[in-house]
Structure 1
Amino acid sequence: MAGVSLKCGDCGTLLKSVEEAQEHAELTKHTDFSESTEAVLNLVCSTCGKPCRSKTESDLHTKRTGHTEFSDKTSETAKPITLEVPKNQSSDDVDMVDASTTGEPEEMVVPDVDLKLLEELESMGFSKERSTRALHFSGNSSLEAAANWIVEHEEDADIDQMPLVSAKSKSEPSKPSLTPEERKAKAQELKERARKKKEEEEKRMEREREKERIRIGKELLEAKRMEEENERKRIIALRKAEKEEERRAREKIRQKLEEDKAERRRKLGLPAEDPTAPKPSAPVVEEKKSSLPIRPATKSEQMRECLRSLKQSNKDDEAKVKTAFNTLLTYIKNAATKPDEEKFRKIRLTNAAFQDRVGKLEGGIKFLELCGFEKIEGGEFLFLARDKIDRAVLNSAGTELNSAINNPFFGVL
């Protein structure tokens, strides 16, 4: 396969033409170039149309712009590269093209070369045709350049053929080679051009980074706003739930008062109060203490009060309260489901784990005593006798504990 690029042996860069290689050499001082069958990549961004010459360049473009789709048009743009074009842009191929465009055959002659360099090459053992060819295609620059050309092209099929150029191109004066000062000026110009190009690229990159910073800033502000809005909605929902819980508590208290009032009227033998009848306004008199007997609180109410006291006395440590409730629920559940096993009905009061979770908390031991546990052996153990297990009481205790655990507003009022 014919070569389609030039590869720098010093840095591995692929170049499309001799001109690019010359410019690369002037900028980097690299001199080791060889013909390569590997084509210079031509990855065209499908979004903005920017061409990228390497995978690294396409990755940078994706990082800057977010564009990820590229069309590989390397095969469409790859063209065979000719290394035998001299610096003055005159060659056999160019002369043949010129002749074909005019439609008339042109006279081909041997190109002029530096005779002194030609003699030196011949003295080194190279044939006249090979030496002439090397001097012609190396630009008659130096003996070293011609020798290097011979080494690089010694495998060429036409290495020992005398080169020919058109008589017209030979008669035209060749462009004078650049002086050291001109070469220095040209190199400086190329460096300046590369510097400006690099500055422009840095400015463009800075603009892209600034746009990215602005975009990220907007996203952070929007995320913060959404977080604040969600927090505000959560607080509103929490307050609404608290108000609803308070309303239900007041309604429950009111219903309880109504039930107590109806019970007192029934005990006194009075008829039930008509809810539709207008209530007389109470006279402003000094309230007298009622001599009616007060109904004692049920065990469920006493258990609920124990749990409420436990939570109120430890309201700053929710984890401790939750651990105490779960521990009590475990004791009650074991006693109810495994009544024949004594180990589930006997608790050592001096146990460190029990004391830390339940024993030293207000209302903890009293709750167990309400469930039927009794102190034995001088107060060292709490024991629930097998014949004193009351499933209804244990079920009520479990209900109160589940309510206390699952209700976030338990004990608030």
Structure 2
Amino acid sequence: MAGLSLRCGDCGALLRTVEEAQEHAELTSHSDFSESTEAVLSLVCTTCRKPCRSKTETDLHTKRTGHADFADKTLEAAKPIDLVAAERPSINSVENAIVGSAAASGSEPSEEMVIPEVDKKLLEELESMGFSTARATRALHFSGNDSVEVAINWVADHEDDPDIDQMPLIPISSKQETSKPSLTTEDVMMKAQELRNELVKEGRRREKDGKRKREGSYGAPSSTYPYPFLLLIVQKVIPFPVPINLGASPRKYRERIRVGKELLAAKRMEEENERKRIIELRKAEKEEEKRARDKIRQRLEEDKAERRRKLGLPPEDAGSTKPPPPPVEEKKSALPIKPVTKVERMRDCLRALKQNHKEDDAKVKRAFQTLLTYVGNVARNPDEEKFRKIRQNNPTFQDRVGSLHGGVEFLELCGFEQVEGGEFLFLPRDKVDIVVLNSAGSELNSAITNPFFGVL
């Protein structure tokens, strides 16, 4: 199958003609080109008829205009590529032609061909869409400088013209503009030299400042120069790096935005889970306080009835007494943070420890803090064996936890086992459950900070 395009081996860009490949090589310094059977995409917007050559261009066009329907005319526009490049005029040949014609006539050329004047703003807008300067100028000139849409429609209708990428030239007499002073041959040569020097200085300055990767084409002919056709010729002779592959930047920006959104969503989910966990803990503390108040109220009623019995007074009328509040049914948490059954057993164990030693609050509080230290060390360092092994006959352990009823039972609920004839309490590494340890730590914190914990 004949080749339909030329592929750049350095950046992967597909080019329609050898001329485009030469311009691409001059602008990017890429030199590895090969013939490809893959045709350059020709996607035409069905709304405004703007042609796009890649998926990136269609995405940018959709983002800018909102047009999302494109017609694929790749097969219609595909044709074998001509590997013979047309000879491009050099600056010396153009200058010699100008000098020769001036010398032959003995005066300035009578019918000098110049580039037509077009709307500068419309030209810049077409260049920002990806059109070359020559194609944009030709479209604006032949469409009457009306609007960007009209120029795009003209390009779509004349895309197969052989001279679509050539700069249009018209006689100077046909230009509709104010008269300008004519230039002699020496003036033209001087202007060309000045423009050449300015371009060299501009290229060196941009290279020194490190602005090679700046988006946009700063090497295109500037409309501020009075003779842009000379600037085009000089640019072919003295090229400097111009970033023209704008498709990669939006893709990188979209990837960064997507990763940022994912990280933000994960952070919000983590914050939401933490908020729910805190709400569950506060709810459990409130329920514990409510149960403690109910028990105190019940004990007061019993003491009151006992005093009336001792004084020989009749019991209070059952109708006058307020009915006891209905038992509060505990709702299980929907979050998989702590197993409810084991947590209840831990709470009962701590409540029994406080009730059995309620005459010494300082000793009970010290026992709770010691248990919290054991549990926290294992939760933070599950791989350290020294935190998972406790000698039961240690004087400090016996004084703070071992001698109190319920201390060893609480550690066994956390996963500790008695080994070596009961000399040690050991928590195997494969039985370390971080969720259970976190639940135990929450219960110990509640027992330490809640003044109503285990009152009855």
TM range (shorter): 0.3 to 0.5
Please identify the structure whose Cα radius of gyration is greater. Answer: 1
Normalised TM-score (structure 1): 0.36
The structure showing larger relative contact order (alpha-carbon pairs under 8 Å, at least 6 residues apart) is: 2
Normalised TM-score (structure 2): 0.34
